[in-house]
Amino acid sequence: MVSPDFLKKGDKIAIVAPARKVSELEMMPAIKKLSDWGLQVILGKNLFGVNNQYSGTDEERIADFQEMLDDKSIKAIISARGGYGSIRLIEKLRFDHFFENPKWIIGYSDITIFHSFLHVNNTQSIHATMPINFPVDGSDNESTESLKNTLFGKKITYNLPVSEWNRTGKSEGIIVGGNLSILYSLGGTALEIDTRNKILFIEDLDEYFYHIDRMMMTLKLRGLLKNLKGLIIGGLSDMRDNTIPFGKTAEQIVLDAVSEYVFPVCFNFPAGHINPNISILMGQSISLSVEEKTVKISSC
């Protein structure tokens, strides 16, 4: 897959808000931190716009994103936050200049829309924390340090705690995926990702157990689970149940959906709507080793 150039001090990184609105106060910790890393921070003209829950109208959000896509001097675009709204932009954005001069697009949750689009178009991106999540006191944490290391091209190996839900095995493959709800919603569209011989990463927040089951079974019916090289599950946060219990945990639901397939499954990867939210270079070839006493994930 096409890999944009990693950043160096002095490079420009743009902050845009393709989804939910943000305030200047909320963005200041990230603006300062990115500047401390030696980057020039460029703000979208409509970054602090307001249109109901969005950061401006569709046209304003498209204009901001399009400007950063077209500007050759911008080396990375990070989304201010998620929420909902990216899908309203993707069809109207033009990526011709972007593909001539690829740059990193960064974010998670609703930004899975962009990760999926870029995967379909054979280009890497970064699933990572966003400015809304930067520590308000200006300190570093694992999430921001991971983003910095990824942006500047440092290869990282993750040694993870063992989960009782893991399924052992070793494999290599390109990592794809993102937010489960977004991946589920893109089924049957031009943005549905190709998971064949890939390692799939999923995470989600605030869903009912029955709906996790619906989404996993739909991915199975669409053939997205059958030919995986591996499955990595990040945060499955704040899951909910009905008055009549569904009868399975989120982990059991996931394992049930892939029970007939043979590939390693890794739970509790620290990424998603959790802290820490470790960066994942989507589209990168990785090695996944899940053993009884050790779990290791590294770039190939």
**134 by DSSP, 3-state: which?**
coil
* Helix 209-221, helix 250-257: angle, nearest 10: 10
211 belongs to the catalytic site:
no
**212 by DSSP, 3-state: which?**
helix
Distance separating alpha carbons of residues 70 and 161, to the nearest angstrom? 42
**41 by DSSP, 3-state: which?**
strand
> Residue holding tokens 């049957």?
188
203 belongs to the catalytic site:
yes
Output the CA angle 196-272-109, nearest 5 degrees: 80
Which of 203, 207, 279, 289 does the annotation list as catalytic? 203
Which of 55, 273, 279, 289 does the annotation list as catalytic? 273
Q: Are 138 and 112 in contact (CB under 8 A)?
A: no
Which of 55, 79, 86, 109 does the annotation list as catalytic? 109
Buried b (16+ CB within 10 A) or exposed e, 258-275: beeeebbbbbbbbbbbbe
Give me the DSSP letters along 136-194: TTS---HHHHHHHHHHTT---EEEE---TT-B-EEEEEEEEEEEHHHHHHTTTSTT---
Candidates 217, 147, 128, 146; CA nearest to 180 is: 217
287 belongs to the catalytic site:
no
Q: Which residues are catalytic?
A: 109, 203, 273
